[in-house]
């Protein structure tokens, strides 16, 4: 699955629509992930995990921290502890 990135948004087209992760820049060192959506039919298939991984890779590359303002991100971090160093929590 191809993850695409535009300013403030990571997204992927699925068989059932479009999954997305939205973020905004808080300051020069922090971005806030405030929304993650996966079409109902695609949930549980790892799509949100791919989007979250993409945002953390982006943060790592840019020297940023991720503020998890979306309920999915803390769940992701529980499963993927290696990304915690790039989180504000």
Q: What is the CATH number of the domain that holds 72?
A: 3.40.630.30
pLDDT digits (tens, 9 = 90+) for 2-45: 999 999 999 999 999 999 999 999 999 999 999 999 999 999 99
CA dihedral 34, 47, 54, 29 (to 10 degrees): 10
Q: Report pTM.
A: 0.94
- 69: tokens are 């303002």
**Structural domain of 57:** 4-86
Domain count, the chain: 1
Q: Where are the alpha helices (DSSP H) in 23-87?
A: 47-62, 72-79
């Amino acid at each position: 699955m191809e993850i695409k990135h535009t300013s403030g948004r990571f997204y992927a087209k699925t068989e059932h629509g479009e999954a997305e992760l939205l973020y905004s820049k808080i300051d020069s060192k922090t971005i806030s992930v405030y929304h993650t959506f996966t079409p109902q039919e695609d949930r549980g298939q790892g799509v949100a995990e791919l989007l979250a991984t993409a945002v953390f890779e982006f943060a790592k590359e840019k020297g940023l921290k991720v503020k998890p303002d979306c309920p999915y991100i803390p769940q992701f971090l529980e499963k993927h502890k290696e990304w915690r160093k790039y989180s504000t929590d």
